[in-house]
Amino acid sequence: MTNELFLLLLREYIIPGFARQREVNGDPADAAALLISDGHGSRNQPEVLRLLTEANISMFTLPPHTSHLTQPLDNSPFAILRRKVNDAERRITREMSPAEKTKSRSVALDSALCCMRAPDVILRSFATTGIRPFDPESFFAGKKCRTYMAQTEGVGSSRLRTDGAGLVSLRGR
């Protein structure tokens, strides 16, 4: 993800999406909103922060190296987005005008957003991570998870519990 591409995504999709949702909910146009994001550098641009402030959207950045716990959608929907955006970036040439570059990126984003919102794609991402239905073997697989659990051991209980429906939550803190 480039700085330019994130600004395009923010201007063309994220902020208008919040505006539409406020309208659907019957909320005021300036109602407070929250954008949950990873810590990629493209999110920390002055222009991004200015646009979010103008739209009354706060951004919460998730802790690094916890995506297996906090971002199950990275496994399927956002993988589709990354693949389509990266493909579009590879097709962009220096000879293209700025308008042609923006058009190419917009087409890629439209295509990705259409594919990534499919219910089966979203459900697959939660199943892949072992979150729902809860699968401890999948959930605790991988070195990063064991490292994270070891790092949080002294901070409070890092044990997970599951409710009857298989929803997972962290206990303690």
pLDDT digits over 119-166, tens only? 888 888 877 777 677 666 766 665 444 444 444 444 333 333 333 333
Structure tokens at 16: 């208008």
Residue 148's pLDDT is: 41
DSSP strand E in the chain: where? 33-37, 57-61, 160-162, 168-170
Closest CA relative to residue 5, chosen from 72, 87, 61, 126: 87
pLDDT digits over 52-83, tens only? 999 999 988 877 777 666 677 777 888 888 88
pLDDT digits over 8-47, tens only? 999 999 999 999 999 999 999 999 998 878 778 888 899 9
Q: In whole angstroms, what is the distance from residue 53 CA to residue 58 CA?
A: 7
User: What's the mean pLDDT in 94-114?
Assistant: 87
